[in-house]
Structure 1
Amino acid sequence: MKSLWVILCLLAGVGQAEPLFRDLSHRLPEHRYLGGWNHFVGGGVAVLDCNGDALPDIFAAGGTGPAGLFVNQGNFTFAAHPLPDIRATTGAYPIDINADGFMDLFVLRIGQNMILMGGPECSFTQATTEFPLLPADQWSTAFSAWWVDDGRPHMAVGNYVDLKNPEGPFFACDSHEILTPLADGYHSTPLEPGFCSLSMLATKDASGAQRLRISNDRQYYVRGGYEQMWDLKEGRFLVASDGWEKISIWGMGIASRDITGDQREEVMLTSMGDQLMQMAQPDGTYASAPFSIGTYAHRPYYGDDGRPSTGWHAQFGDMDNDGRVDLFISKGNVDQMPSNAIKDPNNLLMQQANGTFREMGQSAGLASTERGRGAALADFDGDGRLDVVVLNRRAPLEIYRNETPDTGYWLAVSLLQPGGNRHAIGASVTLNGDMQRTIIGGGHAGGQAGPLHFGLGAATQAEITVEWPSGHITHHKAAANQSVTLTP
């Protein structure tokens, strides 16, 4: 691994606290992700502040049941909030699509996708007719969005099995769509071939180019399918001559974060069996992490079921605020798939001082063996520690409060700028050497809108550099243990 990575890890300045989480799922209204075989996948959660109180709220897909909106009342209590009766949902992503300051939701469905426009006090109005998007007969499971220079979001929608194909579902993957804003709506451009996407992420890759990574489910592959990367500027898929290696996995989710301190983001791809970490290289390509890094999480780490694991949502976050980025992966059998573990606990992989990761899910209290799907890491009580919410297939929604003692200092950073890209999607924020980007996409069928969370270790002050989407760079200083909002 890179020497700078080791130096930064050793300089984090605090010993690693033992992570500890308390299951407070009983404080959530009852909610499950339901349905038959066409809801084996999906089950995403969207985390957003829908009423401006700085406490994150939760939208949860319902599958064949109704979607749910659970408003944070403080003290880790949540109340069900009225929503339109939306069924056949697979997930959702927050996005301020009209830059009015209220977070909206792009809702993925089997059938017509929906735009829910946010308003005061967590009110949502269906506005799909105002945003002509996609036909009503597709099975959508992935989403990402970015801004160019026209003030309105460009969006990508990933579709799973082609419901119109009489030979399906096996080897019948649907194409994907790029949605480009027009004066009277959006123009849809198909991305072909499609290999049954379950996650998409538009961001700068290891080369610094703006690209759309597509992770595909090998279970329903057309023969010869693989992971894909679409160049957003050139409008083409990368090939071998670009340094793009064809990798075939059962792709379920994408997470990205710079864990080595070189300002290039590593990528975590969840799958069946090996969970694949790709390390960003100086030449702009990616290389598989060595097995010794400890992130492959290929089998359950406790219990007597030695069959391969099934990973879904992955997300990086500093769970103990020691300045080293950790990794959470939700796990769970597709349904009763005999080739894979039935009791498959979620992973909490804590980064050590030498840059490797140690599994601590069981001792931390996060080792649920329900059929996990979408998840999110967010500070639900404002105490500076990242908590965990997990949506399960045919089992109750779970939430865990982070009660890790003796954590380091922290800072939460929000960005605001004029114009259509109000929340500066595509910006990078570097804080004491730790870089994050503002993104919409990735995960498994769900994402979040809110502050970027940084663990500071022993540092009580932070030096912050923001590269805004325009390329303008600003520098800031802030004291630890607070939330700050920065502007250009």
Structure 2
Amino acid sequence: DQDGLPDIFIAGGEAPSALLRNRSQRGGEIKFTKQTPQELSLDNVTGAYPLDIDGDGFLDLAVLRVGANMIFKGAENCQFSPLTGFNDDYVSGWTTSFSATWETGQSLPTLAFGNYVDRNHPEGPFGTCDQNFLYRPSGANYQDPLALDPGYCPLSMLFTDWGRQGRADLRVSNDRHYYLHDGEEQMWKMTDEPRLYSAKEGWQTHKLWGMGIASRDITGDGIPEVYLTSMGDQRLQLLDKDQDGPFYRDATYSRGTTAHRPYTGGDGRPSTGWHVDFGDVQNDGLDDIFVTKGNVQQMPGSAMDDPNNLMMQQLDGTFQEVGDSAGIASMHRSRGGAMVDFNLDGLLDIAVVNRQADFEVYQNVTVETGNWVAIKLQQERPNRDAVGAWIELMVGHKKFSRELTVGGGHAGGKIGPEHFGLGSFETAKMRVIWPDQTHSGWVEVKAGSTVLALRNGLEGLTLGDY
């Protein structure tokens, strides 16, 4: 509704989906009111991602479903209508993942939908993973979808410029519980004819119960690290820049990111990770990691009392679990989640969607925090929100590199100002590498502000209040 306060759309599965409008006071108590337009009250919704597909300034919704997926065009007063030019007639699908990017020269984004097991296969569900589909635009409409085969039951996918080569490729995290022996994690090279990266190109075989993906440069080298949720060990992966291609190595156990068993509650069986998000919860200039946890339903080999994780990064790059002391150690079967500043006080809050339990919002009330700045990019149509751009921020001698993406997480995402913790610094220098690889000049931003950074010509950048 363009009031600057982030709203929430929640998938309900068999129950109707819902739109929660943010009625918080800026800097005050967080409050949401359920106000769902009839068009958005849908059954069989598995997830959703916001993005401005047509560049009109109103956020649209890609809605994932058991059955035909839908894209809703947003308008004034929280009104939504089906997007013309997009039609999903794959009514037998069970969609569990999504990502989007603007490819060079296109007026609409390329859309990727990942489907889970084939519901109609007579020998399912094990070993019967369904196809995934890529929708590429043709003018103002979409071409017939291209099948991305083989499919291995993805629960998350993300278009990302993983090596800063100027093109986003599609990373796919797959669930080995159903693909059994033949599958693995995947990376599609987004050339004219998409194809999988091979071992000769650096891709390493990784097999896990892939649930969620998050990407963030947490080391300061300009290249994003990748966090993959799973059953048992969660994986933090770092690109080996001494190798050619997408060659990733797992972070060692001593890094403190595996979150493989519950840290409280007394259940020593392996954890089940779902959504993952990076964010600086106390604004010390170090990104932290939030993971939702919860048993699938009654899987006896996995923990039932499986609290969500909040792993705070330390100065030496290791992570320390603080979920219990932070008050977010819910024992519900959590699934979706987000770290977003809901009341615009400069602190990241947490939202969690639970299976067979109430939706939860945790307001960040940390007292001793550092400074912060939030940055929202904007350019001319078609890609108004600059998906695929990079924000580079110099804070003292430290450099942040932040990619703007749509996708990842677990069946849900977010879009809005990018939040940076600044520690004790009161100013920072920023520049933008736009999706067409044009670099802006460096400009100064002040702590405690939400900045609207408007593209002005090739290298110009006009700053204002968001």
Which residue of 2 is the match for residue 398 of structure 1?
360
Which residue of 1 is the match for residue 96 of structure 2?
141
Which residue of 2 is the match for residue 267 of structure 1?
226
The CA deviation string for residues 345-388 of structure 1, in whole angstroms up to 9 with x for no partner, is 00000000111000000001011110000000100000000000
Give the counterpart of 1:77 among 13, 27, 31: 31
Q: Distance in 2 between matches of 1:126 and 1:338?
A: 42
Q: Within the alignment, does 1:111 sit opposite 2:61 as a pair?
A: no
Which residue of 1 is the match for residue 151 of structure 2?
194
Q: Distance in 1 between matches of 2:301 and 2:163?
A: 35
Letter in 1 for 2:188: W
Structure 1 window deviating more from structure 2 (454-463 vs 71-80): it is 71-80
Which residue of 2 is the match for residue 87 of structure 1?
43
Q: Which SS does the other structure have where 1:74 is aligned? A: coil
Structure 1 window deviating more from structure 2 (360-369 vs 183-192): it is 183-192
Q: Within the alignment, does 1:376 sit opposite 2:343 as a pair?
A: no
Letter in 2 for 1:250: W
Is the Cα–Cα contact under 8 Å of residues 255 and 315 in structure 1 kept in the other structure? Answer: yes
Is the Cα–Cα contact under 8 Å of residues 270 and 314 in structure 1 kept in the other structure? Answer: yes
The CA deviation string for residues 462-488 of structure 1, in whole angstroms up to 9 with x for no partner, is 100210011111122111111001122
Matched length: 437
Q: Within the alignment, does 1:329 sit opposite 2:291 as a pair?
A: yes
Is the Cα–Cα contact under 8 Å of residues 181 and 187 in structure 1 kept in the other structure? Answer: no
Q: Distance in 2 between matches of 1:253 and 1:457?
A: 29
Is the Cα–Cα contact under 8 Å of residues 172 and 222 in structure 1 kept in the other structure? Answer: no
Is the Cα–Cα contact under 8 Å of residues 285 and 422 in structure 2 kept in the other structure? Answer: yes
Q: Distance in 1 between matches of 2:74 and 2:273?
A: 32
Which residue of 2 is the match for residue 7 of structure 1?
none
Q: Which SS does the other structure have where 2:352 is aligned? A: strand
Aligned identity (percent) is 49
Q: Which SS does the other structure have where 2:145 is aligned? A: strand
Q: Distance in 2 between matches of 1:421 and 1:165?
A: 39
Letter in 2 for 1:142: S
The CA deviation string for residues 309-363 of structure 1, in whole angstroms up to 9 with x for no partner, is 0000001000100000100000000001100000000000000011100000000
Q: Which SS does the other structure have where 2:143 is aligned? A: strand
Which residue of 2 is the match for residue 470 of structure 1?
436
Which residue of 2 is the match for residue 175 of structure 1?
131
Q: Distance in 2 between matches of 1:379 and 1:339?
A: 36
The CA deviation string for residues 151-183 of structure 1, in whole angstroms up to 9 with x for no partner, is 210110000011221111111100101101124
Structure 1 window deviating more from structure 2 (182-191 vs 231-240): it is 182-191
1:181-330 correspondence to structure 2 within 5 Å? 181-183=137-139, 184-206=141-163, 208=165, 209-233=167-191, 235-283=194-242, 284=245, 285-330=247-292
Which residue of 2 is the match for residue 454 of structure 1?
420
Q: Distance in 1 between matches of 2:429 and 2:212?
A: 32
Displacement after TM superposition at 1:439 (Å):
0.4
Which residue of 2 is the match for residue 342 of structure 1?
304
Q: Which SS does the other structure have where 1:241 is aligned? A: helix
Letter in 1 for 2:124: G
Q: Distance in 1 between matches of 2:168 and 2:307?
A: 35
Letter in 2 for 1:473: H
Q: Distance in 1 between matches of 2:168 and 2:20?
A: 34
- Runs of 4+ more than 6 Å apart: none
Q: Distance in 2 between matches of 1:324 and 1:222?
A: 38
Is the Cα–Cα contact under 8 Å of residues 206 and 281 in structure 1 kept in the other structure? Answer: no
Q: Distance in 2 between matches of 1:460 and 1:281?
A: 34
Q: Distance in 1 between matches of 2:91 and 2:443?
A: 47
Displacement after TM superposition at 1:281 (Å):
2.1
Q: Distance in 2 between matches of 1:222 and 1:306?
A: 25
Displacement after TM superposition at 1:223 (Å):
2.5
Displacement after TM superposition at 1:186 (Å):
2.9
Which residue of 2 is the match for residue 42 of structure 1?
none
Displacement after TM superposition at 1:89 (Å):
0.4
Is the Cα–Cα contact under 8 Å of residues 132 and 186 in structure 1 kept in the other structure? Answer: no
The CA deviation string for residues 251-277 of structure 1, in whole angstroms up to 9 with x for no partner, is 000001001100000000000000000
Letter in 1 for 2:24: G
- List alignment gaps of at least 5 residues for structure 2: 456-466
TM-score between the two structures when normalised by the length of structure 1: 0.88
Give the counterpart of 2:313 among 351, 355, 366: 351
Letter in 1 for 2:447: A
Q: Distance in 2 between matches of 1:68 and 1:325?
A: 30
Letter in 2 for 1:477: E
Q: Which SS does the other structure have where 1:358 is aligned? A: strand
Is the Cα–Cα contact under 8 Å of residues 48 and 64 in structure 2 kept in the other structure? Answer: yes
Q: Within the alignment, does 1:438 sit opposite 2:404 as a pair?
A: yes
Which residue of 2 is the match for residue 6 of structure 1?
none
Is the Cα–Cα contact under 8 Å of residues 134 and 188 in structure 1 kept in the other structure? Answer: no
Is the Cα–Cα contact under 8 Å of residues 20 and 36 in structure 2 kept in the other structure? Answer: no
Structure 1 window deviating more from structure 2 (229-238 vs 372-381): it is 229-238
Which residue of 1 is the match for residue 450 of structure 2?
483
- List alignment gaps of at least 5 residues for structure 1: 1-50
Is the Cα–Cα contact under 8 Å of residues 262 and 268 in structure 2 kept in the other structure? Answer: yes
Q: Which SS does the other structure have where 2:358 is aligned? A: strand
Q: Within the alignment, does 1:426 sit opposite 2:427 as a pair?
A: no
Q: Which SS does the other structure have where 1:226 is aligned? A: coil
Q: What is the CA RMSD across the aligned residues, in angstroms?
A: 1.1
Displacement after TM superposition at 1:54 (Å):
0.7
Displacement after TM superposition at 1:130 (Å):
3.8
Letter in 2 for 1:406: E
Letter in 2 for 1:314: V
Q: Distance in 1 between matches of 2:184 and 2:135?
A: 23
Letter in 1 for 2:319: F
Q: Distance in 2 between matches of 1:112 and 1:87?
A: 11
The CA deviation string for residues 108-144 of structure 1, in whole angstroms up to 9 with x for no partner, is 00001011111112222233x6412341111101000
Displacement after TM superposition at 1:222 (Å):
4.6
Q: Distance in 2 between matches of 1:345 and 1:98?
A: 39
Displacement after TM superposition at 1:73 (Å):
0.7
Structure 1 window deviating more from structure 2 (132-141 vs 247-256): it is 132-141
